[in-house]
């Protein structure tokens, strides 16, 4: 970690940041920058300055680890003073001009540093962005003021609110970048540009003083007003969006310097917000998932996976195939007859784009991972005819060129037998959840695939040991649990058994990353980490409904908390077949805590099948938002009569807070069991799995992080109280009880004796 300076014969000082891998601006780097700048300003042989980054990356921004430190201590003094002291006073208002020579990426504080310079020269295909909002903060080195002044308010607002980087080529068109030149020429051009400014052959521009791109005050206010309205809808529980817009407005109305001061003040407030704590936790937790003990730390090298066979062309199989070919991995798609095969291939190529895809786009506007994940992982082919997002739809939505789609489609081959399996490196089985069928497929695979071939299953519930029971290849058998739609949802749950070899796990992790998923390695148990942790989610909601609480109120409370929709609407969307199949699996594995709700069966009997047939708890009409269906209420009443849960036959009275807790505390409780049994490597893996697999709000840090923010003691005593009143569904787990009584965090590492029982 260092900052160096070399002064050339031309009188240009090149100041270089070196902090691999992304040249994060750690406090020591910031001190180094200040020192070198002061030295350059004071040296007579320096006429101009170029600032750049070592190793082909300018800077990934301020060191996010420092936020972690501040979150733990609550002490803001760990944050160095940069915005005014370094960027305004030393660089922008310095007596010698500075030029940023940017390559690879300039993000967050990195781009802000560059915008404080008097010109920016970039290498091609360099990422430029201010992603701070995705960490629950706003830019803090003047970015909220300089970006609008360089690219205009509208574009700046878009880039900041969506935390979405642009490429240097676009930056050049917008005026953020002064020239794009090859990597080889970058320093040379930057040096001479800096000298040209010093000698007044090029303009000496301080971005903060510019107003030419801001437009009139009324135009600016209009843009900010629309952005505020949109953010209220897309990011209702996140303060940083509104704050960012307020701070931009301050600068437009009172001048850039006032804006910088307000930015600094608000930045410091936001750093301590629970939103920032949650999002920073998710940032590091996501990166931690790629560190798996005894797999990634034992010197193994991933093998190259060139060709993958996918068995089953239903929704999951075709989604998995799409994800693979989009990342240039050849696929053989196998089905049992021409009809199914054609359907699978058609889904991949796709000619209908819809609703679902568009909806994903609009929700992701929050700039955060708020995917509306509606899992259908138990059913492979029948449901969800409306959401066949695929190659053609990517083209229609402007996400991919026609050429790329054609190329991707050319590397998938549909087959009806196993002839093509002789040289595949991996098979992913994605047929219906039928044990006998899966067992026969795996014993066949053992005969037709090469000896090195990885044998993966996309099962979401069935024990992997049972699937591989009729083979002698247990070391090659692994779970590759995708979430629907498989080419969109970011999570890949990798399920290992006690016998799966570390090499096979590493290979699947590598494929997962190649196809842009976040792989999380978990142990083998019913439902694995995600489905198991979240099975009490719909159960808790059903329980409450049978205690007499209105289902639509429950949905409202849960979506206000930040889930993309409530549990009843989710059930409508996933289809009741899924609910029944899941219910059976969990009832047999976890009988002590399964609530056998009669409701779904009653709904099916009355001709409802959720969104599939337009009738569920809600009414679904084309082009309209789902509307609560009052005619479902008598069915719920009947179910309540059968279940007899209401004390004295009367509905219970609960607050919204209690509704939230009665649905989510049982989920935290199950997460405790998952950690206790060593199904996950670490608590934060459950957080990532919950955020990416269940769309648990990332700004709440994931289910365990959220549980810790509420407090293990409170969760334990609440569950205990409800279990005494309503039975074993709420019974606190041993792990939770221990943490609560010892005053430990749920996320504290497990004890040695617990670790020895791990399934990993």
Ligand X SMILES: C[C@H](O)CC(=O)SCCNC(=O)CCNC(=O)[C@H](O)C(C)(C)COP(=O)(O)OP(=O)(O)OC[C@H]1O[C@@H](n2cnc3c(N)ncnc32)[C@H](O)[C@@H]1OP(=O)(O)O
Binding site for ligand X (CB under 6 A): 21-22, 24, 60-65, 105, 107-109, 112, 131-132, 135, 139-141, 143, 287
For the CA atoms of 204, 111, 57, 508, the dihedral, rounded to the nearest 10 degrees, stands at -160
For the CA atoms of 103, 108, 109, 111, the dihedral, rounded to the nearest 10 degrees, stands at 40
**Whose Cβ is closer to ligand X: residue 479's or residue 702's?**
702
**Whose Cβ is closer to ligand X: residue 358's or residue 510's?**
510
In the DSSP assignment, the letter for residue 615 is: B
Strand partners, 59: 106
Distance (Å, rounded) from C-alpha 258 to C-alpha 415? 66
Does residue 112 carry a catalytic annotation? yes
Q: Which two tokens stand for residue 288?
A: 């931690």
- Per DSSP, the three-state class of 703 is helix
Q: From the candidates 103, 112, 264, 677, give the one annotated as an active-site residue.
A: 112
Residue 655's CB is within 10 A of a number of other CB atoms, namely 9
Q: Write down the least CB distance from residue 111 to ligand X, Å.
A: 8
Task: Name the closest residue to ligand X (Cβ).
Answer: 108
**Whose Cβ is closer to ligand X: residue 32's or residue 108's?**
108
In the DSSP assignment, the letter for residue 141 is: S
Q: Write down the least CB distance from residue 102 to ligand X, Å.
A: 13
Q: From the candidates 35, 92, 103, 132, give the one annotated as an active-site residue.
A: 132
**Whose Cβ is closer to ligand X: residue 3's or residue 107's?**
107
Distance (Å, rounded) from C-alpha 370 to C-alpha 359? 11
Spatial CA neighbour of 251 closest among 327, 170, 147, 174:
147
Q: Write down the least CB distance from residue 159 to ligand X, Å.
A: 13
Spatial CA neighbour of 617 closest among 554, 558, 531, 696:
554
Question: CB of 504 within 8 A of CB of 334?
Answer: no
Q: H/E/C letters for each residue in 182-215?
A: CHHHHHHHHHHHHHHHHCCCCCCCCHHHCCCCCC
- Per DSSP, the three-state class of 180 is strand
Q: Write down the least CB distance from residue 702 to ligand X, Å.
A: 17
**Whose Cβ is closer to ligand X: residue 143's or residue 319's?**
143
User: In Å, what is the CA distance from 334 to each residue of 327, 418, 493, 646?
Assistant: 19, 8, 23, 51
Q: Write down the least CB distance from residue 282 to ligand X, Å.
A: 12
Order of strands, edge to edge, in the sheet holding 98-102? 2-7, 12-18, 48-53, 98-102, 119-122, 179-180
> CB under 8 Å to 467, separation ≥6 — which residues?
435, 438, 439, 442, 457, 459, 477
User: DSSP H helical segments within 211-255, as ranges?
Assistant: 217-234, 239-254
**Whose Cβ is closer to ligand X: residue 24's or residue 515's?**
24
According to DSSP, the β-strands at 179-180 and 119-122 are: parallel
Q: Write down the least CB distance from residue 19 to ligand X, Å.
A: 9
Q: Write down the least CB distance from residue 506 to ligand X, Å.
A: 16
Cα-flanking dihedrals φ and ψ of residue 678, to 5°? 65, 35
**Whose Cβ is closer to ligand X: residue 378's or residue 509's?**
509
Q: Write down the least CB distance from residue 400 to ligand X, Å.
A: 21
Strand partners, 120: 100
Distance (Å, rounded) from C-alpha 740 to C-alpha 41? 58
**Whose Cβ is closer to ligand X: residue 68's or residue 651's?**
68
**Whose Cβ is closer to ligand X: residue 268's or residue 439's?**
268
Active-site residue list: 112, 132
């Amino acid at each position: 970690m260092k900052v160096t300076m070399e002064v050339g014969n031309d009188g240009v000082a090149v100041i270089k940041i070196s902090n691999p891998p992304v040249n994060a601006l750690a406090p020591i780097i910031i001190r180094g920058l200040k020192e070198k700048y002061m030295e350059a300003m004071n040296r007579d042989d320096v006429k101009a300055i170029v600032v750049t980054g070592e190793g082909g990356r300018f800077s990934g921004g301020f060191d996010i680890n420092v936020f972690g430190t501040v979150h733990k201590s609550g002490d803001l003094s760990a944050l160095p003073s940069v915005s005014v002291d370094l960027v305004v006073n030393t660089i922008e208002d310095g007596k010698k001009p500075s030029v940023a020579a940017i390559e690879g990426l300039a993000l967050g504080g990195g781009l802000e540093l560059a915008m404080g310079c008097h010109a920016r020269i970039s290498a091609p295909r360099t990422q430029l962005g201010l992603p701070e909002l995705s960490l629950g903060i706003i830019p803090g080195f003047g970015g909220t003021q300089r970006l609008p002044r360089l690219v205009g308010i509208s574009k700046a607002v878009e880039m900041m609110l969506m935390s979405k980087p642009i490429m240097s080529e676009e930056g050049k068109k917008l005026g953020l970048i002064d020239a794009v030149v090859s990597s080889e020429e970058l320093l040379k051009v930057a040096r001479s540009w800096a000298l040209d400014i010093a000698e007044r052959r090029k303009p000496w521009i301080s971005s903060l003083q510019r107003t030419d791109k801001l437009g009139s005050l009324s135009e600016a206010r209009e843009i900010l007003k629309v952005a505020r309205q949109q953010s209220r809808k897309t990011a209702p529980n996140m303060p940083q969006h509104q704050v960012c817009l307020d701070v931009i407005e301050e600068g437009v109305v009172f001048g850039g310097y006032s804006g910088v001061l307000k930015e600094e003040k608000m930045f410091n407030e936001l750093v301590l917000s629970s939103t920032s704590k949650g999002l920073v936790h998710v940032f590091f937790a996501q990166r931690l998932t790629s560190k798996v003990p005894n797999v990634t730390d034992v010197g193994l090298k991933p093998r190259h996976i060139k060709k993958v066979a996918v068995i089953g062309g239903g929704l999951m199989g075709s989604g998995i195939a799409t994800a693979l070919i989009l990342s240039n991995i050849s696929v053989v798609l196998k089905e049992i007859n021409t009809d199914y095969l054609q359907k699978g291939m058609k889904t991949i190529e796709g000619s209908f784009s819809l609703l679902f895809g568009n909806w994903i786009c609009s929700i992701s506007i929050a700039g955060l991972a708020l995917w509306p994940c509606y899992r259908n992982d138990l059913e492979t082919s029948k449901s969800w005819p409306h959401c066949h997002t695929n190659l053609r739809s990517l083209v229609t939505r402007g996400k991919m060129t026609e050429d790329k789609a054609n190329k991707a489609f050319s590397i998938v081959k549909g087959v009806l037998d196993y002839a093509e399996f002789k040289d595949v490196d991996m098979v992913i089985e994605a047929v219906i959840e039928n044990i006998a069928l899966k067992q026969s497929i795996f014993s066949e695979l053992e005969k037709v695939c090469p000896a090195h071939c990885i044998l993966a299953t996309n099962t979401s519930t069935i024990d992997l040991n049972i699937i591989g029971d009729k083979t002698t290849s247990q070391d090659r058998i692994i779970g590759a649990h995708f979430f629907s739609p498989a080419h969109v949802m970011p999570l890949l749950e990798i399920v290992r058994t006690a016998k799966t070899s570390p090499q096979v796990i590493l290979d699947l992790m590598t494929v997962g990353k190649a196809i842009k998923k976040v792989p999380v390695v978990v142990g083998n148990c019913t439902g694995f980490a995600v489905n198991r942790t979240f099975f009490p989610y719909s159960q808790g909601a059903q329980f409450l409904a049978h205690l007499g609480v209105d289902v639509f109120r429950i949905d409202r409370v849960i979506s206000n908390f930040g889930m993309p929709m409530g549990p009843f609407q989710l059930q409508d969307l996933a289809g009741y077949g899924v609910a029944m199949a899941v219910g059976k699996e969990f009832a047999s594995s976890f009988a002590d805590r399964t609530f056998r709700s009669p409701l779904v069966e009653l709904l099916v009997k009355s001709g409802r099948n959720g969104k599939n047939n337009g009738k569920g708890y809600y009414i679904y009409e084309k082009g309209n938002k789902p509307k609560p269906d009052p005619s479902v209420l008598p069915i719920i009443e009947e179910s309540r009569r059968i279940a007899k849960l209401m004390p004295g036959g009367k509905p219970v009275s609960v607050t919204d807070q209690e509704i939230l807790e009665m649905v989510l505390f049982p989920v935290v409780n199950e997460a405790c069991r998952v950690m206790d049994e060593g199904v996950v490597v670490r608590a934060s893996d459950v957080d990532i799995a919950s955020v990416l697999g269940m769309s648990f709000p990332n700004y709440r840090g994931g289910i365990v992080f959220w549980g810790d923010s509420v407090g293990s003691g409170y969760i334990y005593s609440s569950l205990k109280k409800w279990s005494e009143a309503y039975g074993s569904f709420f019974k606190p787990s041993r792990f939770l009880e221990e943490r609560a009584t010892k005053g430990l965090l749920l996320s504290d590492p497990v004890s040695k004796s617990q670790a020895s029982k791990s399934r990993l």
